[in-house]
Amino acid sequence: MLEISGLVSGYGRIDILHGVDLRVGKGELVALVGVNGAGKTTLMKTIAGLIRPTAGRIAFEGAEIAGEGAERAVGAGIALVPEGRMVFPRMTVWENLMLGGVHPRARPYREATLTKVFDLFPRLAERRDQKAATMSGGEQQMLVIGRGLMAQPKLLVLDEPSLGLSPLLVQETYGALRRLNADGLTILLAEQNVKLSLAVSSRGYVIENGRIVLSGASSDLARDPATRKAYLGRL
């Protein structure tokens, strides 16, 4: 579904990604692990259209979308749940979710999707009229996942959803992701938490200094000492 080849991207004159190749098949749950600064967020933002790459291709369902902007990405069916959550702080849960479905592609299904989101995250339903800024980290995380779902994505991309969450909330969040994937949603998950992300995914990639250094089945990667070495870096 998603084919990335030779992707070079960064901020201004500084390149963070130095030629990344990555593939996500339909229905898969793929993990991307790497330390802080390895390039996960840059890669996620480039896929979502927030950053324009300087070289390389991003093909989604056969169509080339690299560098065409966030609106094109959402229109194609990619939704990013960004690092740091990025809720709309002074708007309510309901308003945040409604905004998630504001793109013409998703708008006709808004009411139905809203019901599904509230089913998936009952806590959000309880806090429907609460301002997003007053919610806890875990609730905000649920909110932005729900918001991403409102865009009717074919591919849900998540950037460090477990950051700053208590273990219990992490389990809840991951449980929701597992359920969504089981229902057919393709997911690409970027995480620092190696154990967790490899446990929930079928395949994985390890990124270091802007390059993919390892890839394979998640169970293999989890056992491979090279993963740990690449992850911890040279000491």
Partner 1 sequence: MSGEVLLQATVQGLQMGAIYALIALSMTLIFSVGGLLNFAHGDFMVLAMYGALALYQSVALDAYAAAPLMFFGFFLLGFLMFRRLVQPVLAAGVLAGAQLTLGLVFVQENFLLMVFGGDYLSVPTVLSNKNLVIPPLIMPWPLLVASLLAVVMAAILYVVLMRTDFGRQVRAITQNSDAAALMGIRVGRIQAIAFGLGIGMLGLTGAMIVAQFTLTPTMGLDFTLIALIVMVIGGLGSFAGSIVAGAIIGVSESLGSLFYGGTVGAMIPYAILILVLLFRPHGLMGEH
Q: Which residues of this protein are in contact with partner 1, per CB under 8 A?
A: 48-50, 69-71, 73-75, 79-80, 82, 86-91, 95, 98-100, 102-103, 105-106, 147, 151
Minimum distance, C-beta of residue 20 to partner 1, in the bound complex (Å): 21
Q: Which one, of 28, 30, 10, 29, lies nearest residue 20 by Cα?
A: 10
Closest CB to partner 1 among residues 41, 218: 41
Place of tokens 């070495």: 229
Minimum distance, C-beta of residue 91 to partner 1, in the bound complex (Å): 6
Minimum distance, C-beta of residue 167 to partner 1, in the bound complex (Å): 27
Q: Is 194 exposed, middle or buried (0-12, 13-18, 19+ CB in 10 A)?
A: buried
Amino acid at 170: V
Minimum distance, C-beta of residue 141 to partner 1, in the bound complex (Å): 14
Closest CB to partner 1 among residues 2, 74: 74
Q: Tell me the two tokens of residue 138.
A: 């875990």
- Quote the DSSP letter at residue 187: E
Backbone angles phi, psi at 12, to 5 degrees: 60, -125
Q: Could you tell me if 229 and 235 are in contact, meaning their C-beta atoms sit under 8 angstroms apart?
A: no
Closest CB to partner 1 among residues 67, 75: 75
Minimum distance, C-beta of residue 17 to partner 1, in the bound complex (Å): 19
Minimum distance, C-beta of residue 86 to partner 1, in the bound complex (Å): 4
Closest CB to partner 1 among residues 87, 189: 87
Amino acid at 54: T
Closest CB to partner 1 among residues 84, 233: 84
Closest CB to partner 1 among residues 110, 178: 110
- Distance from first CA to last CA of the chain, Å, rounded? 37
Closest CB to partner 1 among residues 17, 157: 157
Q: Could you tell me if 5 and 162 are in contact, meaning their C-beta atoms sit under 8 angstroms apart?
A: no
| Cα distance between residue 171 and residue 157, in whole Å | 18
Name the pairing type of β-strands 203-208 and 29-33.
Answer: parallel
Minimum distance, C-beta of residue 92 to partner 1, in the bound complex (Å): 10
- The residue count of the chain comes to 235
